[in-house]
């Protein structure tokens, strides 16, 4: 995927959510030039991951309330890219698996929107079966472009799919959202009703 979209650049800082077994961390270290003296790749997983030279991997659950702050403290700066390979253990019941993985995707997207540098990217695993409309709407509001990506390495017949949100708007998105609300006549009507009659 990176060969196609050219996301990872030398010097970038990367967060890898759901880092086990460590493959994404290895690629990120290689393409960012992360070293033990200047760690620019931080991963997290509740499963044990073999050490990756040039990366710090936290052994904890990303859903732990303390995990986001720990990730940011370890990385030291806002990330350029948030990668999420988070997936709930499968039950064999496709609708249930989809819902559980979509929850993880929602949480990862929220983390990315709160932490990414302007211009940064978010790449996350989901399952075919329809990415939730609310998530797509959220990402389109905060990123310049949003794509579904089927990696060539995925097994034939696999329902695995990735969503790529490129070029985080940063504070600009908050301004645009506020302008949209102001321009929405329903907002004006509600404000007038709450204010009550003048005089």
**In this structure, are residues 111 and 72 in contact, taking their beta carbons and an 8 Å threshold?**
no
> Is 125 annotated as catalytic?
yes
Annotated catalytic residue, options 117, 125, 166, 169: 125
Tokens of 36: 């033990």
* 84 burial via Cβ count (<10 Å: 0-12, 13-18, 19+): buried
**In this structure, are residues 96 and 135 in contact, taking their beta carbons and an 8 Å threshold?**
no
CA dist., res. 118 & res. 87, Å (int): 27
CA dist., res. 18 & res. 135, Å (int): 19
Tokens of 58: 């936290």
Catalytic residues: 125
């Amino acid at each position: 995927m990176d060969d196609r979209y050219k996301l990872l650049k030398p010097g970038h800082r990367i967060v890898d959510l759901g880092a086990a077994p460590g493959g994404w961390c290895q690629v990120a270290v290689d393409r960012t030039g992360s070293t033990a003296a200047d760690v620019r790749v931080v991963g997290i997983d509740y499963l044990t991951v073999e050490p990756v030279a040039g990366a710090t991997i936290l052994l904890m659950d990303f859903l732990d309330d303390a995990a986001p702050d720990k990730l940011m403290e370890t990385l030291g700066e806002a990330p350029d890219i948030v990668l999420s390979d988070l997936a709930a253990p499968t039950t064999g019941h496709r609708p249930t698996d989809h819902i559980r993985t979509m929850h993880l995707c929602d949480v990862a997207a929220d983390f990315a929107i709160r932490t990414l540098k302007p211009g940064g990217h978010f790449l996350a695993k989901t399952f075919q079966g329809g990415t939730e409309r609310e998530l797509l709407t959220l990402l389109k509001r905060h990123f310049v472009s949003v794509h579904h990506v089927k990696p060539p390495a995925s097994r034939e017949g696999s329902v695995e799919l990735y969503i790529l949100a490129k070029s985080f708007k940063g504070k600009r998105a908050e301004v645009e959202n506020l302008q949209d609300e102001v321009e929405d006549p329903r907002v004006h009507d509600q404000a007038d009703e709450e204010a009550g009659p003048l005089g």
